[in-house]
């Protein structure tokens, strides 16, 4: 499930945010009131974060503690924090049902 969400997030770009104050992140100056977009699709395919980033390798998460609930910023299919997707639990439960039904075939 995590590998599918890494390569095919439900929404490729998260809802935009606006900076409340001027900050510097990784050497980039972000002025106050700047609209910020998080490209989850690109993060999931970043070769600096993922070995064989374009390949579908479900085993990559075996024994891994990377979580899709927004705690690990290399995997953000549902956003993060208090503005994360309210449908996260429903989406995961739905995926689990589909997976269990498919295993019966």
List pLDDT tens digits, range 34-80.
999 989 899 889 999 889 999 999 998 888 777 766 566 777 777 77
Count of structural domains, the chain: 1
In order of 8, 32, 43, 73, the CA distances from 29 in angstroms are: 30, 10, 21, 20
pLDDT beyond 70 at 25 = yes
What is the distance between the alpha carbons of residues 85 and 83, in angstroms, rounded to a whole number? 7
> Containing domain of residue 46, as a range?
2-102
According to the model, what pLDDT value does residue 52 have?
92
pTM of the full structure: 0.70
E-strand ranges in 1-105 read 17-18, 23-25, 28-30, 35-36
Question: Out of 27-36, 62-71, 78-87, 94-103, which region has the weakest mean confidence (pLDDT)?
Answer: 94-103
Residue ranges at the known binding site for heme: 85
């Amino acid at each position: 499930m995590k590998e599918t969400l890494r390569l095919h997030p439900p929404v490729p770009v998260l809802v935009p945010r606006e900076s409340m104050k001027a900050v510097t992140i990784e050497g980039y100056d972000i002025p106050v009131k700047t609209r910020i977009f998080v490209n989850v699709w690109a993060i999931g395919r970043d070769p600096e974060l993922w070995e064989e980033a374009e390949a579908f390798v479900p085993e990559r998460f075996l024994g891994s503690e990377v979580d899709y609930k927004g705690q690990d910023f290399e995997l953000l299919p549902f956003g993060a924090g208090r503005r994360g997707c309210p449908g996260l639990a429903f989406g995961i439960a739905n995926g689990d049902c589909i997976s269990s039904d498919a295993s019966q075939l």
